[in-house]
């Protein structure tokens, strides 16, 4: 048998403590689905357009796929790259891989060649599952792109196409053919203290970092989140954000809803009118959005007959800073309760509680879900702040990871000798223990919940032959929280912004990473040690 995925484990003493406190139950994540098949198999688990899937159907498809993949040769220690849109097949694939013990990395559907190539280089997937609708994997270009992406010829490639519509590419199989099986075989997940899946960090470096999440730590976060958010069998949760996001997957997300036996309703995007139609049609009572999407909902709600979506009782907002002035508009315009969420794919999740005061809900991002989430707030001198001072958030706990995958140098930068992870968030803690997020110290833009690493974008822009210097900074934005600004020095002053954007798209980056504003300047302001002075550039944006 192949070795399991290598990752940094919790120290034995802490692992023992988490088991004693019943945070870690040594149960695999696929038990979430198995439990509902036993308790309520015919209940609706997923509504996806005109299709509905019961828990029993979801389990049958996932089991069939796992059996077929096992017979193909997939086993523990193998990894998978999955890139699917907001469709039910995403969860079928996820549970199949959890059942089989193959570790998935779920790429965002907006990721293109540049990001996908990086992921493939890091995990060397034995299995690739993609959509035939994605521009990178359409039939006319897929064989060329498979070679360019570095996918090994030995890897199994499954494409999601219309059911019973065979792929025309020579080296790929249609996913739906793998969801049918007449075989009954034993399939065994990886041990609960091993890696169940990879999450993607929003990080500030040029190389996307992978976060190994184990069955034990992820399941604890899901279970506790579901309790805090008071989910139950009557929960109908709208999934309108990208399904792989940690927020929409586990905070409490779809997995929290499945854990409690509720139903999720899938939307292709958070576009308000479409989402309002789904809320009305399916009597959705809970949704989760990022602040930029909330703004569009609030704008639409002013003229929309709001009684049509009166079933909506709770709106979660997370993924980026959410101003108190906007927070106050949620119950006023959408006629539902607000819950703020501040979390990270690396682990720590904070929630305002449903019985908190309005002031707490409107002005803070909540408090940790676990009594054994350990928090330190550190000032510029490296000293722990006592009281309400602003500093860098550092944390460790029963579901916060202990190291990025295969990234020893990065781990040395973000973990201290006691195992605390330094998140890069600037926060303050209220007397009640709630967290208020005030900014970031990392060189990163948070554009409507999508994280953009300045270094990554700068390095790509510098590949253009006419560009000699570039600096990326964030500009505050009412709708997105932040937008991306590129200050550029070019050789001949002939380069146009649209030409640069075309160049970047040809490099295969996701469109959300394109600069929103491009300014050509004669010289870069420098610090005393000769580095580009980004603080001075930010000041230029306000003058």
CA dist., res. 427 & res. 376, Å (int): 10
pLDDT digits (tens, 9 = 90+) for 387-417: 888 889 999 999 999 999 999 999 999 999 9
CA torsion angle 146 204 350 195 (round to 10): 40
Distinct helix (H) and strand (E) counts, the chain: 18, 25
d(CA 344, CA 423): 9
Distance CA 102, CA 94 (A): 10
HEC sequence for 502-533: HHHHHCCCCHHHCCCEEEECCCCCECCCCCEC
Q: Residue 388, CB half-sphere, CA atoms under 13 Å: how many?
A: 6
The angle formed by the CA atoms of residues 432, 437 and 442, to the nearest 5 degrees, is 140
Helices (DSSP H) in 155-239: which residue ranges? 215-228
Strands (E), 189-336: 195-200, 210-214, 236-239, 263-266, 286-289, 314-318
- What is the C-alpha separation between 433 and 197, in angstroms, rounded? 31
**Each residue's pLDDT tens digit, 29-68:** 999 999 999 999 999 999 999 999 999 999 999 999 999 9
Question: What DSSP element (H or E) covers 308?
Answer: none
Other CB atoms within 10 A of residue 409 CB: 8
Tokens representing 399? 């579901």
Burial class of residue 203 (count of CB atoms within 10 Å of its CB; 0-12, 13-18, 19+) = buried
String of DSSP letters for 367-401: EESSTT-EEEEE-TTSPBP-SS--EEEEEE-TTS-
Q: What are residue 425's DSSP bridge partners?
A: 440
Specify the pLDDT at position 168.
Answer: 39
Q: What is the pLDDT of residue 206?
A: 54
With contact defined as beta carbons under 8 Å apart, do 316 and 337 qualify? no
The pTM score is: 0.87
Set out the domains of the chain in order of their start, with CATH numbers: 55-190 (3.40.50.980), 216-440 (3.40.50.12780), 448-541 (3.30.300.30)
Local structure of 93: helix, strand or coil? helix
- 465 DSSP 8-state letter: T
Per residue of the chain (543 residues), give pLDDT as tens: 678 999 999 999 999 999 999 999 999 999 999 999 999 999 999 999 999 999 999 999 999 999 999 999 999 999 999 999 999 999 999 999 999 999 999 999 999 999 999 999 999 999 999 999 999 998 888 888 888 899 998 899 999 986 544 433 445 689 999 999 888 889 999 999 999 999 998 755 556 799 999 999 999 999 999 999 999 999 999 999 999 999 999 999 999 999 999 999 999 999 999 999 999 999 999 999 988 889 899 999 999 999 999 999 999 999 877 878 889 999 999 999 999 999 999 999 999 999 999 999 999 999 999 999 999 999 888 899 988 888 899 999 999 999 999 999 999 999 999 999 999 888 899 999 999 987 777 677 888 888 887 878 887 898 899 988 888 999 988 888 889 999 998 987 889 999 999 999 999 999 999 999 999 998 888 765 456 788 889 888 887
Class of residue 117 by CB neighbours under 10 A (exposed 0-12, middle 13-18, buried 19+): middle
E strands in 135-283: 156-160, 173-174, 195-200, 210-214, 236-239, 263-266
């Amino acid at each position: 048998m192949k070795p399991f995925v290598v990752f940094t484990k919790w120290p034995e003493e802490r692992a023992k403590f988490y088991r004693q406190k019943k945070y870690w139950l040594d149960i695999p994540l696929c038990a979430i689905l198995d439990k509902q098949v036993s308790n309520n198999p015919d209940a609706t688990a997923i509504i996806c357009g005109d299709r509905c899937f019961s828990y029993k159907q979801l389990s049958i498809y996932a089991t069939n796929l796992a059996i077929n993949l096992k017979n193909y040769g997939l086993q523990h220690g193998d990894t998978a790259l999955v890139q699917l849109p907001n469709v039910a097949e995403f969860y079928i694939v996820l549970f199949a891989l959890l059942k089989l013990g193959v570790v998935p990395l779920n790429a965002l559907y907006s990721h293109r060649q540049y990001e996908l190539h990086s992921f493939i280089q890091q995990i060397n997937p034995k299995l690739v599952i993609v959509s035939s609708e994605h521009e990178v994997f359409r039939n006319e270009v897929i064989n060329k792109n498979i070679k360019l992406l570095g996918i090994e010829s030995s890897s199994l490639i499954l494409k999601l196409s219309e059911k019973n519509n065979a792929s025309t590419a020579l080296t790929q199989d249609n996913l739906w053919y793998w969801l049918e099986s007449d075989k009954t075989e034993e399939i065994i997940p990886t041990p609960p203290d091993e890696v169940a899946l990879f999450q993607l960090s929003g990080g500030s470096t040029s190389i996307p970092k992978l976060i190994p999440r184990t069955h034990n730590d992820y399941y604890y976060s899901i279970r506790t989140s579901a309790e805090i958010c008071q989910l139950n069998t009557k929960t109908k949760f709208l999934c309108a954000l990208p399904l792989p996001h940690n927020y929409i997957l586990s905070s409490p997300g779809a997995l929290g809803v499945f854990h409690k036996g509720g139903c999720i309703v899938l939307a292709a995007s958070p576009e308000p009118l479409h989402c309002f139609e789904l809320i009305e049609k399916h009597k959705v009572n809970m949704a989760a959005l990022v602040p930029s999407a909330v703004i569009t909902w609030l704008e639409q709600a002013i003229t929309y007959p709001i009684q049509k979506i009166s079933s909506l009782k709770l709106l979660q907002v997370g993924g980026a800073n959410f101003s108190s002035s906007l927070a106050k508009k949620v119950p006023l315009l959408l006629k539902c309760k607000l819950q703020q969420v501040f979390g990270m794919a690396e682990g720590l999740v904070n929630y305002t509680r449903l019985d908190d005061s309005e002031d707490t809900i409107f002005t803070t991002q909540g408090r940790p879900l676990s009594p054994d989430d350990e928090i330190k707030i550190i000032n510029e001198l490296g000293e722990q702040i006592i009281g309400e001072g602003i500093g860098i958030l550092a944390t460790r706990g029963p579901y916060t990871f202990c190291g990025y995958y295969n990234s020893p140098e990065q781990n040395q930068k973000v973990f201290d000798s006691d195992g605390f992870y330094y998140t890069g968030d600037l926060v303050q803690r209220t007397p009640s223990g709630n967290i208020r997020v005030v900014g970031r110290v990392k060189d990163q833009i948070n554009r409507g919940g999508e994280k953009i690493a300045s270094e990554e974008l700068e390095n790509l822009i510098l590949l253009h032959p006419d560009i000699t210097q570039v600096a990326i900074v964030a500009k505050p934005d009412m709708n997105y929280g932040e937008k991306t600004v590129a200050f550029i020095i070019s050789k001949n002053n002939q380069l146009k912004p649209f030409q640069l954007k075309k160049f970047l798209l040809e490099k295969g980056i996701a469109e959300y990473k394109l600069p929103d504003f491009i300014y050509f300047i004669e010289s870069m302001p420098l610090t005393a040690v000769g580095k580009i002075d980004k603080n001075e550039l930010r000041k230029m944006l306000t003058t």
